[in-house]
Amino acid sequence: MQIVTSGATLYLVGDFDVRSTGVVRDAIYSSFAGSDSVVVDLSGVEVVDVTALRVLAMATRHATRRGAHLTLRGCGPSVRRMLHISRLIRAVEVERERAIA
């Protein structure tokens, strides 16, 4: 898992699974130290597991309690499918995709 930070946006690239949850969690929480609104871009993630999605749900909960905001961006079909299957879609905010004209 590679994490590229640009301001308050984290770009995740690679497999987001149980092996990378600690690094991603630490990066998200570090981003909240400098901003109240963090975006996690998952457009570079093709494989995700439920443990990884739970990290995002817990980070969302943490942000809400602090009065901050976490948004997921660029969720591909496999990520969206896992969010729905795990029912964690209810616990996170997914940015709406723009319609292509």
**Taking the domains of the chain in order of start, what are their residue ranges?**
2-90
pLDDT in tens, 58-83: 999 999 999 999 999 999 999 999 99
What would you report as the CA-atom Rg of the chain, rounded to the nearest whole angstrom?
12
- What pLDDT, on the 0 to 100 scale, is given for residue 52? 97
Query: What is the dotted CATH code of the domain comprising 2-90?
Result: 3.30.750.24
Q: What are the helix (H) ranges across 1-101? A: 21-34, 50-66, 77-85
The confidence band for 98, taking pLDDT boundaries of 50, 70 and 90, is: low
pLDDT in tens, 13-54: 999 999 999 999 999 999 999 899 999 999 999 899 999 999
Q: In the predicted model, what is the mean pLDDT of the chain?
A: 94
Q: pTM of the entire structure?
A: 0.92
pLDDT at residue 96 above 90?
no
What does the angle CA 83 – CA 88 – CA 92 come to, to the nearest 5 degrees?
A: 95
The confidence band for 101, taking pLDDT boundaries of 50, 70 and 90, is: low
For residue 6, what is the enclosing H or E element? Answer: strand 2-6
Amino acid at 96: R
Q: Which of 32, 31, 17, 23 is nearest to 3 (CA)?
A: 23
